[in-house]
């Protein structure tokens, strides 16, 4: 079942991409006491993710923070090294990369997806959410193949 607004983020361990290498972080600790804009992509370096999704959050970071967002985080079923390289290639210091390499977060959220027909295996759906002190405040899940409701622009309209 898919997570709903008002529910707590599952307490899985993610790998934060840092200059010093992957750093394990418990979701309960990461989201505690602050308002986080989280967006999820099917894969780093994939076309829509690299051309639209990440650049939108980079471009709108200051506007999101002006509307009460304390941190912007991206996640994907990729390892922390890939997400770190993706952030260096097209992201910014305003985006925290949280690797969900084993898909534990997306499975626990009920937002996992099978991309086997594209040769990508088990991944996560494209979505965004605002997490306030560990609880889902907003949830925007894309229809397959779409890129509308999970964008930074859409999130700004909701805040």
CATH number of the domain that residue 60 is part of: 3.40.30.10
pTM, two decimal places: 0.94
- Extract the tokens encoding 7: 């529910």
CB atoms < 10 A from the CB of 153, how many? 13
Residue 49 a catalytic site member? yes
- Structural domain includes residue 4: no
* Backbone torsions φ then ψ of 78, nearest 5 degrees: -135, 165
- Extract the tokens encoding 67: 């509307």
Q: How many CA atoms lie within 13 A of 66 on its CB side?
A: 6
The mean pLDDT value for 51-69 works out to 94
Strands 21-26 and 122-124: unpaired
**Structural domain total, the chain:** 1
Q: Which of 27, 37, 49, 72 is catalytic?
A: 49
- Structural domain includes residue 7: no
pLDDT in tens, 68-84: 999 999 999 999 999 99
pLDDT in tens, 92-132: 999 999 999 999 999 999 998 877 777 776 778 999 999 99
Q: Is 20 helix (H, G, I), strand (E, B) or coil?
A: coil
Domain residues for the domain of 114 are 13-158
- Structural domain includes residue 100: yes
- Structural domain includes residue 96: yes
Among candidate residues 110, 126, 148, 105, the one with its CA nearest the CA of residue 16: 105
Give the confidence band of 26 by pLDDT, cuts at 50, 70, 90.
very high
- Structural domain includes residue 5: no
Place of tokens 């899985």: 12
Q: What is the mean pLDDT of the chain?
A: 93
- Structural domain includes residue 8: no
- Structural domain includes residue 28: yes
Give the confidence band of 60 by pLDDT, cuts at 50, 70, 90.
very high
- Structural domain includes residue 3: no
């Amino acid at each position: 079942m898919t997570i709903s607004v008002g529910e707590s983020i599952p307490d899985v361990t993610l790998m934060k991409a840092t200059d010093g290498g992957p750093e394990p972080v418990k979701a309960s600790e990461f989201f505690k006491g602050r308002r986080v804009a989280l967006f999820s992509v099917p894969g780093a370096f994939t076309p829509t993710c690299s051309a639209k999704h990440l650049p939108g959050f980079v471009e709108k970071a200051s506007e999101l923070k002006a509307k009460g967002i304390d941190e912007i985080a991206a996640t994907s079923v990729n390892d922390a090294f890939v997400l770190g390289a993706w952030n260096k290639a097209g992201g910014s210091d305003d985006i925290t990369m949280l690797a969900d390499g084993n898909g534990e977060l997306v499975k626990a959220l009920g937002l996992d997806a099978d991309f086997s027909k594209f040769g990508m295996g088990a991944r996560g759906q494209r979505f965004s959410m605002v997490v306030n002190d560990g609880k889902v405040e907003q949830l925007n899940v894309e229809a397959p193949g779409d890129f509308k409701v999970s964008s930074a622009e859409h999130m700004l309209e909701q805040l």
